Structure 1
Amino acid sequence: MLPITKDYIPVNKYSRAGLKLKAKRGIVMHYTASPGASAKNISTYFASLAQQDGKGRYASAHYSVDRNSIYNSLPDDELAYHCGSETYTKEAVARLGTYPNNSTVGIEMCIEKDGSIHEETFNNVVDLAVYLIRERGFPNVFFTHKGVVGWKECPLPWIISPGEYERFKQAVNAKLNPLQEEVVTEDEDDMNKVLDYAQWTWNELDKYIGDAYNDKIIDEWAWVEKVRKKKLTYGELLMLKVLIDERRRKKG
């Protein structure tokens, strides 16, 4: 995952109220609607709203993400003005409450000059979502901005191509649960095949098996070595998962 650049905007009337979230109930996905603008540009824009006089625009989001960076504009346990509305969808009210800004974290996805979300931006947003769930205590509950308010076409690239939104959620789930993927075998030889996984999946396996070793759930370092050398087979993965999960259940 890319490092997160903290670029906190000052507490002000229009973009950072300084109020704590009342709960953590979901993650709301947005797009910047500003072709070619970087994550830093978006964070700077939110900060600039503090200089408004009189009746101005209320807007902010916790994170802005582009191909090369992740900017954090205000603490993700504070309220941001990213999905306010006079009306909300029934599902949003049921799952997020009557004022979703009070219970959600907002992510702005930067778009290319042609209006698309670059694959590198997509992958960075997946990593950020996994971080928010694993490290920051947000549930694996996603809404688009349109899914919250019902009327705003945001994030437009995903409204146009809803399959991309589904791909995003699947990618997040795959990183959160790499060992939950079903292993289909036709004969005994398949069980002896070495896993053909992407590097990020091997990294997740390394953490899963390494944690089990450090917690004394398994006592053979050879299993950790097998993962790091990418030598683990389908059959060994199934055996280890059953063994580790059962021992953790009995221990805990």
Structure 2
Amino acid sequence: MLTIQQQRIPVNPFSRPGKKLVAKRGIVMHYTADPGASAQAIGNYFSSLKNQNPDDGTGDRYASAHIQIDRATIVQSLPFDEMGYHCGSKQPYLPEALSKLGSYPNNSTVGIEMCIEADGLIHEDTFNNAVDMVVYLIQHEGFPEVIFTHKGVVGWKDCPLPWVRNPSELERFKQEVHSQLNSQEEEEDLNLSANQWTILTTQLKELFDKKLITDSTWIDKAAVKKLTVSELLFINTAILNRGIK
């Protein structure tokens, strides 16, 4: 996967309210509706919304996404555990979205904006980068394999328009994500003895108690011998980034 470039929006009322997600229930796919605009440009736009004045008598816009993706770049604007304004609606949400995402999907989902080319289409490189990003969110950030389009959440908005016009693209996207998850699970399972699994589980519990890791899911997966090589590498990297030698 491409390196995720950090371009965080400052906390503000219009594009980064600074509120934590109440749960991680799904991933919502969008398109930028701005032909030729880059991921960085879209991130800059969301950030610029902080400059609005709520007292100037003009209408204000509330909008943001966690991730913007183009053919060569992935830009992160919001932390994955914070709420963005990417799928709010003044109209009732669709029943499936309500059942899977809760009564206000903004506070339980991560939003991904896919950039479109000058011809209005999503380039295959952008498509593939988005697949990789969703796989990462599922494997490393605790999101379930629950993928919606913006239209699938609110019903009235044709977003992402290329997929609304060609619904098979959404199905292809879901299949690619599922295929990657399955193939990586098969290829990357840790090959440890029963005693080694016990030692690893105990060590993860100690790290959790010391708050060196904060996700107990790793312990649960080690306990049932389902922790993968990539997940163990991620845990190790996270600990090293906290200055633990």
Describe the superposition over 1:104-133 as per-residue Cα deviations: whole angstroms up to 9, x where unpaired. Answer: 000000000000100000000000000000
User: Matched residues in 2 for 1:31 and 1:164: separation?
Assistant: 13
Q: Which letter maps to 2:50?
A: A
Letter in 2 for 1:70: I
1:75-154 matches, within 5 Å, as: 75-87=79-91, 88-154=93-159
Q: How does 1:199-210 map to 2 (within 5 A)?
A: 206-208=187-189
Aligned length: 193
Question: What percent identity do the matched residue pairs reach?
Answer: 61
- Residue 17 of structure 1 aligns with an amino acid whose one-letter code is P
- Cα deviation, 1:5-58, whole Å, max 9, x if unaligned, reads 111010001000000000110000000000000000010000000001124100
**For residue 127 of structure 2, what is the amino acid of its counterpart?**
F
1:216, 1:124 → 2: CA distance?
Answer: 36
Flag the structure with larger Rg. 1
Matched, 1:73 2:77: yes
Distance of 1:49 and 1:73 partners within structure 2: 13
Letter in structure 2 aligned against 1:83 = C
2:18 is paired with a residue whose SS is coil
TM-score (norm 1): 0.74
Match of 1:58 among 52, 56, 62: 62
Task: Report the 3-state secondary structure (helix = DSSP H, G, I; strand = E; otherwise coil) of the residue aligned with 1:5.
Answer: strand
SS in 1 for 2:29: strand
Amino acid at match of 2:2: L
Once residues 85 and 206 of structure 1 are traced to their aligned partners in structure 2, the CA distance between those partners, rounded to angstroms, is 41
Residue matched to 2:180:
175
Using the TM superposition, give the Cα deviation of residue 86 of structure 1 relative to its aligned residue in structure 2, in angstroms.
1.4
Distance in 1, Cα, partners of 2:41 & 2:13: 20
Structure 1 residue 94: deviation in Å?
Answer: 1.1
Which structure 2 segments of 5+ residues have no match? 195-223, 227-245
> Which residue of the partner structure matches residue 181 of structure 1?
none
Distance 2:77 2:53 in 1: 21
In structure 2, give the amino acid aligned to 1:90: P
Any idea what SS the aligned residue of 1:20 has? coil
Instruction: Report the CA distance between 1:216 and its aligned residue.
Output: 3.2
Query: CA, structure 1 residues 152+173, in 2 after alignment: closer, same or farther (shift >3 Å)?
Result: same
- Alpha-carbon distance in 2 for matches of 1:80, 1:216: 43
Q: Deviations over 1:137-178 (max 9, x none)?
A: 000001100000000000000000000100000000000002
How far 1:207 moved relative to its partner?
2.5
Paired with 2:186 and 2:53, the residues of 1 have a C-alpha distance of 53
What one-letter code is carried by the residue in structure 2 that aligns with 1:38?
A: S
What secondary structure is seen at the aligned counterpart in 2 of 1:177? helix
In structure 1, the gaps of 5 or more residues are 179-200, 218-246
What is the identity, as a one-letter code, of the residue corresponding to 2:48? S
The structural deviation recorded for 1:248 is 4.6
